[in-house]
Structure 1
Amino acid sequence: MTDGSTPPADQMQQLQAQLAAALAEVAHLKEKLDAALDGTGICIWQGRPQSGDLTVFNYQNFEIGDMAPHFGLWLAKLHPHDKQAVLDNYYAHLAGKTPCYEAVYRTLTPDGSVCWLWDRGRVVERDDAGQPLRILGAHRDITLEKEHEAQLAMQARLDPLTGLANRRGLLDFLKSIDRRGGSYALAMVDVDHFKQFNDLHGHDIGDRVLIAIARSLSAPLSDYDLCGRWGGEEFLLVLGNADMAAANDVIVQLHQAVQRLTVSSGEQDLSTTVSIGLTVHQPGENFDEVLLRADRALLSAKRKGRNMVCRR
């Protein structure tokens, strides 16, 4: 071929064979990539920042309608609490300030449900002025992982016997009140002579008594309050926005409710009592100071004969 006309038949056949081989290799590579990604939940995506076009190449656990074909539509699905942090990461990478874009965020579906995503991308093409033309990345649905994390976090703050908040959960609650600058009353509750009770009736009965007391202490509390197991046979009650008079009314009622409790052991109905130390948070105090004063009030109740409420 010397004049720019149609190439000779043998050369055409050679080009067609090379094209067929290249297409076969592309199909083979795509097959291998699909096999590698299958079951991972990882979706490969491409974005064109100048036009806003978004393309997803494999859907894994997603449906086609789940994917936004344009940056503006994706932006509209972002959870409002996550949007700014995600955009800061994204635009920092487009500007060349970071080696990649990476974010963990929530998207909202039309029915209001939440989907958690892990998302990562990198600019793979820029124009002569350094402006991004194409960004390639991957994302994965991590909703189930987030739900599992939340369950573990909750379990880490719960007492397995009573189902109440444990010491860690109580401390987190008190710290959150301190950060907000809220006021509260604090009552420390101790089961009287519990070791002797356990030795006499057995630990199974002792556990049943603790469960019964936990229910009795927590049942009448409001959403602003928290009852938890501080440790062993000791409970802690946090009464939000309560002064001494209001807190005292609640605690006296709870003290009387525990006195009425009975737990069956064979043909015998067993009962027990509690000693309670009550105090109220003062402006400027941290929770450690309030805890110490409640503990001293509890010690006074024990020294005075137990089965009573002492206030400080």
Structure 2
Amino acid sequence: MQMRVAASPAEGDAFSCTYRTRRADGTWLWVLGRGCVTSRDSEGRALRIVGMHTDISSLQHDRNVLEKKIRLDPLTGVYNRYHLDGLLQQVHKDRGPLSVLMADVNGLKMINDHLGHHTGDELLRTAAQQLLKHIRQEDCLARLGGDEFVMVLSCPGSVVRERLSSIRKALEAWNAAGGLPLELSFGLAGSDDGSVAPEVLLRQADARMMEEKNRVRAASHARIRAWLEARTGRKVPVDDPRL
């Protein structure tokens, strides 16, 4: 930016930019650079520029912390709906392979009602941790709120289906170990050529997730009910309205 302003008045006479430079100890120094051309030659090239540089490292750190808080779900530590909305707009522009995988935590209300919301929060954190094990750095896992999560993956549907199979096997192993019962319902939608809008994929994945949730509800809740009874020593009625 400075070079363009110095080369021609077409770019204006003033500039302001932020950049970083690495210190000798490996940390980053963030700098705000501002300047103004005070004189030019007959061809418009700058003869004199007056300006200043300001160390804004502490301000940048505060900004990064705030940005992180804005984009992350405070309970689970994964991304939130705000970040997801921005990401979906970006991937729609890229037009590459895209898959959306919805996940819903079954029986959360049962856990909340019988063991307390602190245990329900633990279950949500566990769900996030398990799902995080199956995404790459370039993928996104976000909590939509309540008991719903969504994974946005920039890869073909065949790859995502294999990954979903791995997730299901990992959940089976988790539940076999006897910890908090983690029962998830999934819905997958994808577009290998990027021709389908991300918002459409999100709706399709949500609809398919609800289909699976309704299909497995009885068996899933039966397993959770059995775990609760073994854990608490109290009978959970089959007609419990919380089911």
TM-score range, shorter chain: 0.7 to 0.9
Q: Which of 172, 184, 187 is the matching residue for 1:274?
A: 184
Which residue number in structure 1 is paired with residue 109 of structure 2? 195
| Structure 2 unaligned regions, length at least 5 | 221-243
Normalization by structure 2: what TM-score?
A: 0.74
Distance 1:129 1:208 in 2: 68
Paired residue for 2:134? 220
Q: Size of the alignment, in residue pairs?
A: 216
1:251 aligned partner: 164
Task: Give distance in 1, aligned partners of 2:41 and 2:92.
Answer: 53
CA distance in 1, matches of 2:78, 2:89: 18
Structure 2: which amino acid aligns with 1:301?
E
TM-score by length of 1: 0.59
2:174 corresponds to 1:261? yes
| Compared CA separation, residues 137 and 202, structure 1 to 2 (3 A) | same
Relative to 1, partners in 2 of residues 1:187 and 1:109: Cα closer, same or farther, differing over 3 Å?
A: closer
The yes-or-no answer on 1:299 pairing with 2:210 is yes
- SS of the counterpart of 1:104? strand
Alpha-carbon distance between aligned partners in 2 of 1:166 and 1:273, rounded to the nearest angstrom: 21
Shift of 1:113: 5.9
For 1:159 and 1:104, how far apart are their aligned partners in 2? 31
The correspondence of residues 49-88 of structure 1 with structure 2, limited to 5 A, is: 85-88=1-4
Structure 2 distance, partners of 1:289, 1:160, is 27
Q: Indicate the residue corresponding to 2:156 in structure 1.
A: 242
Q: In structure 2, do the counterparts of structure 1 residues 138 and 233 end up closer, same or farther at CA, with 3 Å as the change threshold? A: same
TM-superposed deviation, 1:151? 2.7
Which of residues 55, 58, 68 is equivalent to 1:154?
68
Partner Cα separation in structure 1 for residue 43 and residue 103 of structure 2:
70
- Residues 107 and 217 of structure 1, relative CA distance in 2, 3 Å threshold: closer
Give, as a single letter, the amino acid of the residue that structure 1 aligns with 2:198.
Answer: F
- 1:101 is aligned to 2:17: no
**What residue identity is the alignment partner of 1:299?**
M
C-alpha spacing 1:123/1:213, structure 2 compared with 1 (3 Å): closer
Distance 1:175 1:127 in 2: 45
Closer/same/farther in 2, CA of residues 289 and 102 from structure 1, 3 Å limit:
same
- Cα 1:279/1:142, change in 2 over 3 Å: same
Q: CA deviation at 1:277?
A: 0.7
Which position in structure 1 is the counterpart of 2:235? none
**1:230-278 per-position Cα deviation (integer Å, ceiling 9, x unaligned):** 21110111232132x332222132134234436x9xxx95414111111
Alpha-carbon distance in structure 1 between the residues aligned to 2:105 and 2:56? 44
| Secondary structure class of the residue paired with 2:71 | coil
Q: Distance in 2 between matches of 1:272 and 1:130?
A: 68
Letter of the 1:117 partner, please give it.
V
Which structure ranks higher in relative contact order (CA pairs < 8 Å, sequence separation ≥ 6)?
2
Q: Percent identity?
A: 27
Q: What is the alpha-carbon root mean square deviation over aligned residues?
A: 3.2
- Indicate the SS of the match to 2:205: helix
Return 5+ residue gaps in structure 1 as ranges.
1-84
Partner Cα separation in structure 2 for residue 89 and residue 222 of structure 1: 41
Q: Deviations over 1:169-212 (max 9, x none)?
A: 22333333222221122110011132232122111000111111
The structure richer in helix per residue is 2
AA partner of residue 271 (structure 1): P
Q: How far apart, in 2, do the equivalents of 1:191 and 1:129 lie?
A: 68
Tell me which amino acid in the other structure corresponds to 1:287. Answer: P
